[in-house]
Structure 1
Amino acid sequence: MPSSTEPRSGLKYGWSLGESGWSAEMNDNILRIGRFGLHLSAKDRDLTAPPGSPATGDTYIPAAPATGAWAGHENEATVWDGAAWIFSGPLRTGTLAHIEDEQKLSVFRAGAWSAGVAV
């Protein structure tokens, strides 16, 4: 049985036990939860281009107008996996992120991040 996609999280589900294809999609689910679902903390949210030497796991929120590898991914969360930028895709209203360089908590709503509150 082909998997289904849960509309809120984008996670896949609905496989039969032992069904082929379960492994690849389940790995994607676990990575998505680890990267974006448990605790979103971004190093910066006002860069428009990727930093030159990111460390594996570094997370950013590209600002508009995003360029280079970040082009078209403004306001999404992106994580450097050691070889490429992995994007969260469209975020849901209510997503909360800690913005490290500002020491603020910010919420995503109406397609943009709030100014945030100091923490």
Structure 2
Amino acid sequence: MKATYLFFAGSLLSFVSQAQNLVSEPTGSFGGDGKDAPHLQLNDNHTFVYTDLTKPSKPVVGEGTWSLKNDEVILEPTSKTRLNRRYTVIREGMCIKTRKSFAFYTLCNCK
């Protein structure tokens, strides 16, 4: 009886901890205005717009579709624009982070 009780208690605890790790779809505006900091807009229809005008000599503007796999946002641009394709969802979907060489970016939701 005690073993059965411990099994069910452990199963319930395991289920609750896994449910907390699930992230709802991170939609909205992440980052700055595009001029002073990169900006990523994730739309409900799984399209995105990325703007980075921090280097006026090399502006980066891209759009395409996105998907969510294991707390990672994966961008699929429709143009040949070079941009980071993988972002990790952190802080319960309020921020996303990525890395490009030695530069680390954390873009938070501007709601």
- Per the normalisation by structure 2, the TM-score is 0.27
Say which structure is richer in strand. 2
By relative contact order (CA 8 Å, sep 6+), the higher-ranking structure is: 2
State which structure, 1 or 2, has the greater radius of gyration over its C-alpha atoms: 2
Q: TM-score, normalised by structure 1?
A: 0.26
